[in-house]
Amino acid sequence: MHHDNRHTDNGHPDNGHTDNGHPGNGHPGNGHPDNGHAQAHVGANWPMTPETFAEVAAGIQDELAKLIVGQVELVHDTLVALLAGGHVLLEGVPGLGKTSLVRGFGRVLDLGFSRVQFTPDLMPADVTGTTVITEDEVGRHFDFQAGPVFANLVLADEVNRATPKVQSALLEAMQERTVTVGGTTRRLPEPFFVLATQNPIELEGTYPLPEAQLDRFLFKLSVPYPSPAELAEIARRTTGASEPELVPVAGGADVRAMSALVRSVPVADHVLDYAVRLVSATQPGLSPLPELPAYVRFGASPRAVHALVLAAKVRALFAGRYNVAFEDVSGSAHQALRHRLLLNFEAEADGVTSDALVGRLLEAVVPDPVAAGR
Amino acid sequence: MTPELERALAPLRRRAYLDNALRWALVSLSCWAAATALVLAWSKLSPTGDTGVLAAILGVCALLGGAGGWVLRRPSTSEVARVADSRLDLKERLASAVFFAEAPRRVEHTGMHYRLQADAAQRALEHRPGEAFPLQRHSRRAFAAFASVAVLAALAFTPNPEAATLARRSADHAAIAKARRTVASAKREVGHQHGSEAAQAQDALKRALAELQRARTPLQALVALSALESKLASLPNFSSQQEAAAATAGAALAGAPGASKLAQDLMSGNLKAAAEDLRKLAQEIKKLGSGQQKALGKALQKAAEQAGARGASPQAGPGANPGASGSSASSQATTSPFANELSQAAQALKSGKAGQAGKYLGSAASGATASARAASLQQELAAAEAAVRNAQSEVAAQAQADSSGHGTKATKGAGKQGSRRGHGRGASSHFATGSGRGKSTRFGAVTGKGTGSGAGRGRGSGAGESRGGRGAGSGNGSGTRAGAGRPSSQVFVGGQPAGSQQVIGRHLARGYKVKTTNYQQVLPSFEKTALQGLGSQVVSPTDQNLVRDYFSSLGGAHRGSPATKKG
């Protein structure tokens, strides 16, 4: 009855179909989707080294730039989250290219893509899939019909419009990377990346994500409004005779290899200490900022350190380095911390945003006290 | 750690150590200069001695502190790498490489850390060590050190208004120390002697030495020396009478057969040799002819008479017991034992009993030996007394200089000691008195407050006689000195009875914050000290009368004060 609520962006209500024209990727119903291995040759970037990592990452961004006008930071941060193995919550008004971004990633990375439009009447099974009775020559039997979550890249559009029950189903899949239906647990494809969006306006009738579920997103990114020059470029590209054709730069295997390489980047203790101090400083009782306790009810959870360090490792490799620097940590602080600070009414009344507080924290927490002391 | 990384770190580490050394050197220099400048500034507000020693101590402390700081705060390799990362914008490459090189357990075996070390070494070698640890970073510290040293130099070359006070204190200490040394030396000399006189002298010297150890002002030292001088002077002195008697006896024996050397030794006061001569004469008297014996007897009789006349007082003459004194001495015969022995020897010779005469002469020889020992003690005592007097003069001059607030140089005008050591038994006084002009309170001599110039004149004379001859000396001295006086730590003011809160007659310069005391509270002790001092021979009789008259004139005032009456 709500088949229009969950569809891929190619217009087919079939959950298994992706827009890359390779229905085999994430083929629904087989229960063992392996979308990556078929495209492992796409990038031909084996073995993955820091140099090839930087090269592939730059290629992905360059290719996406053909489709996405501006939004360089957004693309960069989304790619960071993808390679760090995390999920992203995008916040921005409609029409800013969120869907194009995810679709572009799907094409450039040659990954399976699906999109779910969240509405209040959406059911969990519409996301995860369900067991249906099918009849063939053998007879009637139950088959699992996979939901849109069984894709490499999932766009959960306006995630705050669905009921908490549906939100929980999606977020559990994000966390566990498995789906259990009818007593059977099925693994989600690797890589698995959810890009959820929410609209900061028209909040009536929405179900804001609880803090515990927000915490499962690696990054929360704000989609900025394009500049006039970018708007003009968007108009030129979208009103012309042809749309830009994206070429796959890497495949699922490449992404997995890149993610594995990310984990091998060493982090020295003094850099790790900076990340820890930064996260600890968000706690009202431990913050060096005197005004923070007045505005923050709860600081960032330990997942914030995990997010900061993983993102910093990706940024280090992007920069062609073999180590994590302080600027890698601080460079991801806004994205990793802004949705993890639970502000109180005082902050809302004073117009204090979590981004402003994180900015103040970055000024207050000295990256390297030893170097600063000498 | 790979060799490349080690090669990149070594110059950075050396440079960091140098940088750290420079840092601590500048800090130490600044601290030392600032602390020494404070000491110097304080010494210009309040008289502070030994500023040089304090500066040296502070310098040593600063040096030790700097060295300690350098050793304790010497950067580790990790710290060097972190600082280099920060200043060379190496994006934590070097510190991370060092970290994983020093903690191999933390390395995941992906080969990434080898790439990291190579990358870090390559990036670090692109820079000079001086870029990571530039000397310019110490410009503030260098400026602070320079400023501190400049302030210190300015203070060092600025005249010290407290110099006069310091000089006075220094002179006080020098005078007291010299007096102490003199007394200690005298005590050592007298310590070799035996007998009750020597014991009494030792006791007095010991007591005086203890008081001098406690003395903080020349006045206190003067009191101790005056008491000592009085004590030494009060000890009985027989040696001069004994020597005089021996000399007259020797003159009588001159020309007597077999006694020419005896006569010569007696006249020269060499009693020890005279004793030997007497023993020899006693042995050889039998070898003389009867005529010679009679002539010798006559000479001995004459010598006995003259020695007896000269040494008529108790214990006088060679052979008297120098240890006896007091009532026991007064019970002795009025003629000296030496004269008696000579007389009895003369009588024996007259009656032809040469052997008996020899025995008497032997007894006389024993007496002469004892007298020789006594004379030695007396010489030591005389030397000690002379030395004490000399010290007393110098301390008195210093005390007077302090009290007048003017530069009296008493020592310069000190008269030459009356005779060489052991001969200055005669009176000897020499100290300069100074008179100055300038504003002062009534007791300006005590407060020393005043400005102006002072002049001092010294007059000294000494006379003495001994067996070696007579000595006399006199000296004149004068000294002038101009300069501002400085109040002592306690200022005495007049005009109000004790117990009054109102203080008038204050003539202190602005800025002096010293305790003021009504002079009437201290006048009795002043009078006591002054009158005690009069007992010594330092003050001439004329001046003694002046002092007594002065205190007598004040007697009505201070004895009649309410405080005194109350007490």
Tell me, what CATH number does A307's domain have?
A: 1.10.8.80
Length of chain A: 374
- Surface of B (68-87) touching A: CB under 8 A: 75, 79, 82-83, 85-87
Please tell me whether residue B479 adopts helix, strand or coil conformation.
strand
DSSP conformation class of A189: P
How far B138 CA lies from chain A's nearest CA (Å)? 11
Q: Which domain holds residue A270?
A: 265-367
* Six-digit token string for A329: 């940590």
Q: Nearest-CA neighbor of A98 among A177, A173, A23, A159?
A: A159
What sign for the dihedral angle of Cα B402, B408, B409, B410? Answer: negative
Would you say B493 and B499 are in contact if contact means Cβ atoms under 8 Å apart? Answer: no
Would you say B342 and B309 are in contact if contact means Cβ atoms under 8 Å apart? Answer: no
- Total domains present in chain A: 2
Q: What is the pLDDT of residues A47-70, one digit of tens each?
A: 778 888 988 999 999 999 888 888
Residue A373 counted as domain residue: no
User: Does the pLDDT value for residue B487 go beyond 70?
Assistant: no
Residue A357 counted as domain residue: yes
Please tell me whether residue A187 adopts helix, strand or coil conformation.
strand
Could you tell me if A250 and A274 lie in one domain? no
How far A319 CA lies from chain B's nearest CA (Å)? 10
Could you tell me if A328 and A187 lie in one domain? no
- For residue A368, the chain B residue with the least C-alpha distance is B82
**Do residue B115 and residue A322 have CB atoms under 8 angstroms apart?**
yes
Q: What is the pLDDT of residues B114-124, one digit of tens each?
A: 888 888 998 88
CB-defined contacts A:B, below 8 A: 66
Could you tell me if A15 and A142 lie in one domain? yes
Strand runs labelled E in B18-160: none
Q: What is the DSSP string of B216-275?
A: -SHHHHHHHHHHHHHHHHHS---HHHHHHHHHHHHHHHTT-TT-HHHHHHHHTT-HHHHH
Residue A374 counted as domain residue: no
Q: What is the DSSP string of A234-245?
A: HHHHHSSSSPPP
Residue A260 counted as domain residue: no
| Closest residue to B112, CB basis, from A265, A270, A372 | A265
Cα distances (Å, whole numbers) of residue A171 to A9, A184, A196, B52 = 21, 18, 10, 80
Q: Which residues contact B181 (CB under 8 A, 6 or more apart)?
A: none
Best residue of A272, A323, A326, A366 to probe chain B, by most B CBs closer than 10 Å: A323
- Please tell me the predicted confidence (pLDDT) of residue B238: 60
**Do residue A370 and residue B82 have CB atoms under 8 angstroms apart?**
yes
How far B155 CA lies from chain A's nearest CA (Å)? 33
Mean pLDDT for chain A overall: 82
Mean of pLDDT values over B525-542: 72
Domain boundary among A255, A275, A294: A255
Chain A CB contacts of B120 below 8 Å:
323
Q: Nearest-CA neighbor of A301 among A336, A353, A343, A328?
A: A336
* Six-digit token string for A122: 């959406």
Could you tell me if A151 and A269 lie in one domain? no
Cis before B314? omega within 30: no
Residue A190 counted as domain residue: yes
DSSP conformation class of A65: H
Could you tell me if A249 and A269 lie in one domain? no
Domain boundary among A255, A279, A298: A255
- Is the CB of residue B107 less than 8 Å away from at least one CB of chain A? yes
Q: Which amino acid is at A102?
A: V
Distance (Å, whole) CA B143 – CA B30: 9
Mean pLDDT for chain B overall: 71
Could you tell me if A244 and A295 lie in one domain? no
- For residue A367, the chain B residue with the least C-alpha distance is B86
Tell me, what CATH number does A122's domain have?
A: 3.40.50.300
Distance (Å, whole) CA B504 – CA B516: 10
- Please tell me the predicted confidence (pLDDT) of residue B170: 80
**Do residue A266 and residue B100 have CB atoms under 8 angstroms apart?**
yes
User: Does the pLDDT value for residue B426 go beyond 80?
Assistant: no
Mean of pLDDT values over A193-198: 90
ipTM exceeding cut-off 0.90 for this assembly: no
Could you tell me if A187 and A278 lie in one domain? no
Strand runs labelled E in A209-346: 219-222, 296-298, 342-343
Cα distances (Å, whole numbers) of residue A368 to A42, B90, B120 = 42, 13, 18
Chain A CB contacts of B116 below 8 Å:
266, 322-323
- Is the CB of residue A50 less than 8 Å away from at least one CB of chain B? yes
Cα distances (Å, whole numbers) of residue A20 to A65, A106, A197 = 18, 7, 21
B422 C-beta neighbours (distance < 10 Å), count: 19
Q: Nearest-CA neighbor of A201 among A95, A57, A353?
A: A95
- Is the CB of residue B106 less than 8 Å away from at least one CB of chain A? yes
**Do residue B97 and residue A323 have CB atoms under 8 angstroms apart?**
yes
pLDDT class for B554, splitting at 50, 70, 90?
confident
- For residue B79, the chain A residue with the least C-alpha distance is A370
Could you tell me if A234 and A354 lie in one domain? no
Residue A372 counted as domain residue: no
Could you tell me if A66 and A159 lie in one domain? yes
**Do residue A368 and residue B82 have CB atoms under 8 angstroms apart?**
yes
B360 C-beta neighbours (distance < 10 Å), count: 23
- Surface of B (202-261) touching A: CB under 8 A: none
Q: What is the DSSP string of A204-225?
A: TT--PPPHHHHTT-SEEEE-PP
* Six-digit token string for A195: 């890009």
Domain boundary among A197, A231, A255: A255
Distance (Å, whole) CA B513 – CA B181: 36
**Which of A33-47, A159-173, B53-67 has the lowest average pLDDT?**
A33-47
- Is the CB of residue B92 less than 8 Å away from at least one CB of chain A? yes
How far A314 CA lies from chain B's nearest CA (Å)? 14
- Please tell me the predicted confidence (pLDDT) of residue A364: 92
Q: Which residues contact B510 (CB under 8 A, 6 or more apart)?
A: none
How buried is residue B452: exposed, middle or buried, by Cβ count under 10 Å (0-12/13-18/19+)? middle
Chain B CB contacts of A321 below 8 Å:
91, 93, 119
- For residue B80, the chain A residue with the least C-alpha distance is A371
**Do residue B91 and residue A323 have CB atoms under 8 angstroms apart?**
yes
Q: Kindly state the percentage of chain B with pLDDT values over 70.
A: 69
Q: What is the pLDDT of residues B52-103, one digit of tens each?
A: 888 899 999 999 999 998 888 888 888 999 999 988 988 899 999 998 888 7
Q: What is the pLDDT of residues A307-354, one digit of tens each?
A: 999 999 999 999 988 899 999 999 999 999 999 999 999 988 999 999
- Surface of A (312-351) touching B: CB under 8 A: 319, 321-327
Distance (Å, whole) CA A80 – CA A73: 10
* Six-digit token string for B161: 């208004």
Could you tell me if A241 and A342 lie in one domain? no
Could you tell me if A251 and A270 lie in one domain? no
Q: Nearest-CA neighbor of A145 among A156, A133, A137?
A: A133
| Closest residue to A266, CB basis, from B79, B91, B112 | B112
How far A257 CA lies from chain B's nearest CA (Å)? 13
Please tell me whether residue B289 adopts helix, strand or coil conformation.
coil
How far B148 CA lies from chain A's nearest CA (Å)? 23
Residue A57 C-alpha from the chain's centroid: 16
Could you tell me if A214 and A135 lie in one domain? yes
